[in-house]
Structure 1
Amino acid sequence: MAQHWQEILPIDRYKVASDGLLHEYDRKVLTLLYQPLIGSTCFSLYMTLWAEIEENRLWSESSTHHLLMNLLELNLKDIYEARLKLEGIGLLKTRVKTDEGGRSFIYELHPPLSPEQFFLDGMLNIYLYRKIGKTHFSRLKRFFSDQQKPSEGEYVEVTKAFQDVFSSGAPGSMQYIQGLSEELQEEENQQFIGRTEPSPIQIGVDLFDFDLLTAGLNESLVPKKALTPKVKNVISNLAFLYQIDAIEMKNFILGAINEHEEIDIEDLRKGARDWYQFVNYDQLPSLINRTQPIVHQTQLTEPKTPEEKLIRSYETTTPLIVFKELSGGVEPSNANLKTLEEIMIKYKLPPGVVNVLIEVAMRKTDMKFTKGFVESIASHWARKQVKTVKEAMELARNEEQKVTESKKTNRSTNKKPIRTELIPDWFDDSSKEAGKDPSQGNNSEVEAKKRSIEEKLKAFRK
């Protein structure tokens, strides 16, 4: 995985293109429906690129990324990460060309889904509901909807057809059709300004094991023809959204088959959603990074040492898999899953950092995963703004070293205290003289002092 400075530089040029006209209504959709999912930085990047396209045009002038950094007041790393999120959610496509003159990009803006597409998407609407809650979600549905038009039975159609209003008259001269064929043709290197229909988010069907699914389904109950391409697309999205494997998906399909031996998509979605909420205490999934974002990966070369291999593993593995591996393959409990989700959302820790946190927490608590202890580490790391696996490992080492030194200090202080007195520096020489062998000094004077002290003691006793 390359770092952002390997993928993009301030001097690299870019142009902004639009896949059709963007309307003012799109701005409302982006602000109210997309921004809660992608964040304000991604929203600002999209809006800035949109502003660079002239009104009713499909292309912008060429600019450098340095200008984009100044416009947004962001560093190149944040811009690159925001660009990846826009690409992932279907709002941006990026093309690059490298030649002798350097590297240039084309950022093609794609319009957002219509409100109807968004609220019936099956993925983005679930993430939005989880993000903003039931009350605001209902308010947005009311904002983007209105009363249906009256049914056709209540009113009689009186609209005139084209041929009832207009007629086609023959021209009186051939001058009208001269050069007509050339004018009807589209000019070379030109395109008409219009708008294409935006495509919803679709998880690749190759990521789901349909062979295992069909092997577990009874042909008499669910015929293979029921697994249409549209149904397969929905199954792939549901499997990604709710983390459902092929064996569990079989049960939802059996519950969604109707009397016509067809799979009812809405029943399938409802069954998967109800199951997920049941096992997750009425919660819905959140939109988070699956693995460590590219911009926060540090192990770029092929790992050689054990530590480099561990960093690479943490950067490319999901927290759920790391948790299962440390647990010996045992599935995490619902409480553990909820704790994992909370620390990634509440404290905004990247997945790679969460992987380090999982190991630190479990090693320190005899393979337990106590919520209070985990949150104490997560809040500390969030305040320290830990973003990379290497930073998390270094911080964990430093904390362990502090604990070890503190224990040594406590053991030493538990010993019987030895009285020490503050003495001036010059006292060292006299104390050394006093500690010399008496035979080297004047013995007669010492004996005389002893006799004098003994006589005073005798007199004091009397």
Structure 2
Amino acid sequence: MIKPNTEFELCVTQMMTSEELQILTLLYQPIIGSVAVSLYMTLNTLASKSSPSLFSHHLLLQVLNVGVEDLLALRYKLEAVGLIQVYVTEEDHHLTYYLKKPMQAKAFFNDGIINVFLNLKVGNHDYQQLKQLFVQELPHIQGQNISKPFNEVFDTTVLMRSSATLQASPLPTVADNQKGVKLELAFDQELLFALLKQFGMDDQILSDKLLDQINKIAFLYKLDEHELARLIFDALDTDGFVNLEVFRKQAKQYFQFLNKGKPIEVVEMPKTKQEAPLMDETQAALSKEKQLLVHLSQNPIDFLRFKYHQKEPVPADRQLVEWLMVDQQMAPGVVNVLIDYVLNISDGRLPKQLVEKIAGEWQRKEINTTEKAMVQVKTMLKAKQKREIEKTMPAAAKVYPKTARVVRQEQVPDWLKANAQRVEEKKSLTDDDLQKIERMKQLQSQLLNQKG
């Protein structure tokens, strides 16, 4: 996370030449925009005016008159086209911006990615005009070329004698010094090689340079490993080598066939929000929960396409989703959670009876929000897991809870209850009370005898 007071260090090897400034203005600017070019020029100017080059982001915000999120978005564009590399240390989170020079015009137009994006941005007519400004084609000269080759003028044995010295002290190479747009691998290389072997091809025919071009084409035309293998096989020449031009042409035709002639569209990724600071596990879990809620709140048909790897759902599944939303009035997030749960437990299928059963149960339980649906699914999964564990346990190992012993009480008539109560009261009299009662009985007997 960067803040206005966050400092960064600038690192640049050489200042731009006038030719490179022209390339930046006419070739890079249509792709990344004028404000991103201004950021790059500002960083270059600061690097040339100060040593050591240590600045705060507040200066950039003031010079460019943008906010922190916009500044990050501009920096990401420069990173994407290879004009800047960002390094950060783990200990103190020290930032270093390493400025790279623009590609030479010939390398730019032969890149295979950035030149295609320029063509799509400005149109083919203006693209060809820009290309003519920088790439001068060799003039057509009549006659035979009689220029002497190198080995006819110089003695190659002299080079051979010094070859040991050349091998002992090679020129330094920097891995990050390669120019052009860097792409992550757009396909599974091991899978592609395995598919090529099924076609009887040796993966050794694919050099690193050829693989780089194939990767760019796979990125542009969204080709998977099976499509790539078929196109590579079809592009083999008579000598068994891959004709790159044929491969490019067939890949483009295949893409247009799948998309009914529609051209490639240049789509910028959504703006990346300001990077969050380091979070603890609880905060990270809450952040993932929010992202999951956003993902589950999309249109259920789109969610179903996502689960089916962008393939159109079959009519029966579409009707089932429409029934859940229209007839049952279930929220989109609840429908998506239900779909996801059923697909997981039913091997990627949506059995109608099971969906209707779960939907009815959720309606009775008033599960009407995405959060409630997620909690319900967790509860159902835990119950299912418990049942599976109990099935695998031996009978002797099962522990059943002890039930409280129930003592049966007989219904007693009221009169019996009263008699019993008197007996209990009699039992509760003391010895003195009994003696008094006995004396009263004797006295009463004497009185009766006197009367008699």
TM superposition score category, shorter chain reference: 0.5 to 0.7
Aligned: 1:128 with 2:118: yes
Alignment coverage as a number of residue pairs: 293
1:308 match = 290
Report whether the alignment pairs 1:274 with 2:264. no
Is 1:32 matched with 2:26? Answer: yes
Aligned-residue offset at 1:236: 1.9
CA distance in 2, matches of 1:231, 1:321: 41
Judging changes above 3 Å, is the alpha-carbon distance between structure 1 residues 304 and 145 closer, same or farther for their aligned structure 2 residues?
closer
Say if 2:236 and 2:242, in contact at 8 Å, map to a contact too. yes
| Shift in Å, 1:257 | 0.8
1:156 to 1:250, Cα distance in 2 relative to 1, 3 A = closer
User: Paired residue for 1:93, among 85, 97, 114?
Assistant: 85
Larger radius of gyration: 2
Map 1:81-160 to 2 at 5 A.
81-97=73-89, 104-149=94-139, 154=144, 157=147
Q: 1:255 aligns with which of 234, 248, 263?
A: 234
Residue 388 of structure 1 aligns with which residue?
none
Structure showing greater relative contact order (alpha-carbon pairs closer than 8 Å, 6 or more residues apart)? 1
Is 1:111–1:198's contact at 8 Å kept on the other side of the alignment?
no
Q: State the identity as a percent.
A: 25
Alignment of 1:11 onto 2:5:
yes
Give CA deviations for 1:365-412 in whole Å, capped at 9, x if unaligned.
xxxxxxxxxxxxxxxxxxxxxxxxxxxxxxxxxxxxxxxxxxxxxxxx
Does structure 1 conserve the Cα–Cα contact (< 8 Å) formed by 2:188 and 2:225? yes
Pick one of 195, 203, 213 that aligns with 2:183.
203
Match of 2:70 in 1: 78
**Paired residue secondary structure (2:14):** coil
Paired residue secondary structure (1:20)? coil
2:57 paired residue among 62, 65, 69: 65
Which whole-Å CA distance do the structure 2 matches of 1:284 and 1:298 have between them? 40
Q: How many Å separate the matches in 2 of 1:42 and 1:14?
A: 18
User: Per-residue displacement from partner, 1:165-199 (whole Å, max 9, x unpaired)?
Assistant: xxxxxxxxxxxxxxxxxxxxxxxxxxx9xxx9652
The equivalent of 1:293 in structure 2 is 272
Q: How many Å separate the matches in 1 of 2:98 and 2:307?
A: 46
Contact 1:12/1:104, CA 8 A, preserved across alignment: no
Give the aligned residue type for 1:78: D
Return the offset for 1:276.
Answer: 1.7
- The structural deviation recorded for 1:243 is 1.0
TM-score by length of 2: 0.55
Displacement of 1:72: 0.8
CA contact (8 A) 1:323 1:332 kept: no
**CA deviation map 1:109-164 (0-9, x unaligned):** 10112111121111112211111111111111111122315669556559999x99
Unaligned runs of 5+ residues in structure 2 are 155-171, 313-331, 337-452
C-alpha displacement of 1:320? 13
Distance 1:111 1:218, change over 3 A: same
Distance in 2 between residues matched to 1:10 and 1:262, nearest whole Å:
55
- The correspondence for 1:50, drawn from 39, 44, 47, is 44
Report if the CA contact (8 A) 1:131-1:286 is conserved. no
What amino acid is aligned across from residue 116 of structure 2 in structure 1?
A: I
Q: Per-residue deviation at 1:31?
A: 1.4
The separation in 2 between residues aligned to 1:143 and 1:14, in whole angstroms, is 37
CA distance, structure 2, for counterparts of residue 322 and residue 81 of structure 1: 31
Alpha-carbon deviation of 1:224?
A: 2.2
Q: Distance in 2 between matches of 1:17 and 1:285?
A: 36
Deviation at 1:91, TM superposition (A): 0.8
CA distance in 2 between counterparts of 1:321 and 1:229 reads: 43
Residue 306 of structure 1 deviates from its aligned partner by: 9.7
Cα distance in 2 for residues equivalent to 1:228 and 1:141? 28
Structure 1 position 282, deviation (Å)? 3.7
Normalised by the size of structure 1, how large is the TM-score? 0.54
Amino acid at match of 1:74: V
Structure 2 counterpart of 1:224 = 203
Instruction: Tell me which protein shows more helix as a share of its residues.
Output: 2
- The alignment partner of 2:123 has SS state of helix
